[in-house]
């Protein structure tokens, strides 16, 4: 192979090309957000010619949707990890409140730690896939919205959230934590010090808990 095609394969012989392209897309999103997810660049990073990608991703949008799903899964995993660190003190009410706070804190922390993936997870029309009531594959891991709903349901069972206030509560809680996340990574709060961000996060979670 000669010229600028040297070292670029037309076939992928070592492993899973779809996974390689997806990993390249995730790396692009991590570095530059959803606008950086470009199929041609993903194929270049995977070491194949662009045409080789089309059997796996017919368009840039298909790759972006796959990367978005991975970003949402990473956010959900961060939330689950935070929940697993919670000690069970034997107080159902305290544990339920701690679950809700952990969900919110993990969400905001992920946005700050992985701003490119966070922006990609909710990029454009792709964010509609996170809406409640959407059919999910059998045995699929719960997404961020489902984890929030489970935390709210736990508070209802523990008596810390009145049943009549449960319907729609996830929209209010989600709006609060998502709004703060965006203000911190893309808005006027991005210049806050680490301690100030922690204080604002704690105050927001207090407001969400008391407001519900």
**What gap in Å lies between CA 192 and CA 53, rounded to an integer?**
42
143's CB contacts (< 8 A; 6+ apart) are: 72, 73, 76, 130, 136
Residue 46 lies in a domain: no
Asked whether the predicted pLDDT for residue 14 surpasses 70, the reply is no
Asked whether the predicted pLDDT for residue 6 surpasses 50, the reply is no
pLDDT tens profile 32-82: 999 999 999 999 999 988 788 888 998 999 999 999 999 999 999 999 999
Q: What is the pLDDT of residue 13?
A: 55
pLDDT band at 1 (very low <50, low <70, confident <90, very high): very low
Residue 49 lies in a domain: no
Kindly provide the b/e burial profile for residues 79-91, where b requires at least 16 CB atoms within 10 angstroms of the residue's own CB. bbebbeeeeeeee
Residue 51 lies in a domain: no
Residue 32 lies in a domain: no
Residue 31 lies in a domain: no
What mean pLDDT is predicted for residues 176-183?
Answer: 97
Could you count the other beta carbons within 10 Å of the beta carbon of residue 75?
Answer: 23
Look up the domain containing 117 and give its range: 69-211
Residue 194 lies in a domain: yes
CATH of residue 178: 1.10.357.10
pLDDT tens profile 114-153: 999 999 999 865 444 444 444 455 567 899 999 999 999 9
Residue 1 lies in a domain: no
Output the six-digit token pair for 37: 């997810």
pLDDT tens profile 75-116: 999 999 999 999 988 999 999 999 999 999 999 999 999 999
Q: pTM for the whole thing?
A: 0.85
Q: What is the pLDDT of residue 53?
A: 82
What mean pLDDT is predicted for residues 177-199?
Answer: 96
Q: What is the pLDDT of residue 50?
A: 79
Q: What is the pLDDT of residue 124?
A: 66
Q: What is the pLDDT of residue 132?
A: 46
What mean pLDDT is predicted for residues 161-180?
Answer: 96
Count of structural domains, the chain: 1
Residue 7 lies in a domain: no
Q: Of 211 and 149, which is predicted with more confidence?
A: 149
């Amino acid at each position: 192979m000669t010229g600028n095609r040297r070292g670029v394969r037309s076939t992928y012989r070592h492993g899973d090309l779809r996974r390689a392209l997806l990993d390249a897309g995730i790396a692009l999103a991590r570095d530059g957000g959803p606008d950086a997810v470009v199929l041609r660049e993903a194929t270049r990073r995977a070491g194949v010619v662009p045409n080789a990608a089309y059997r796996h991703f017919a368009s840039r949008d298909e790759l972006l949707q796959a990367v978005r799903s991975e970003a949402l899964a990473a956010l959900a995993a961060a939330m689950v990890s935070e929940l697993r660190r919670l000690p069970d003190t034997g107080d159902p009410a305290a544990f339920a409140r701690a679950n809700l706070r952990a969900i919110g804190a993990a969400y905001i922390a992920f946005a700050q730690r992985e701003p490119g993936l966070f922006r990609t997870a909710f990029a454009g029309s792709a964010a509609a896939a996170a809406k409640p009531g959407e059919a999910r594959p059998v045995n699929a891991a719960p997404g961020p919205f489902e984890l929030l709903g489970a935390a709210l349901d736990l508070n209802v069972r523990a008596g810390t959230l009145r049943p009549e206030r449960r319907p729609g509560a996830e929209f209010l809680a989600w709006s609060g934590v998502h709004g703060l996340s965006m203000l911190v990574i893309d808005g006027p709060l991005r210049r806050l010090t680490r301690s100030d961000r922690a204080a604002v996060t704690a105050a927001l979670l207090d407001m969400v808990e008391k407001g519900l």
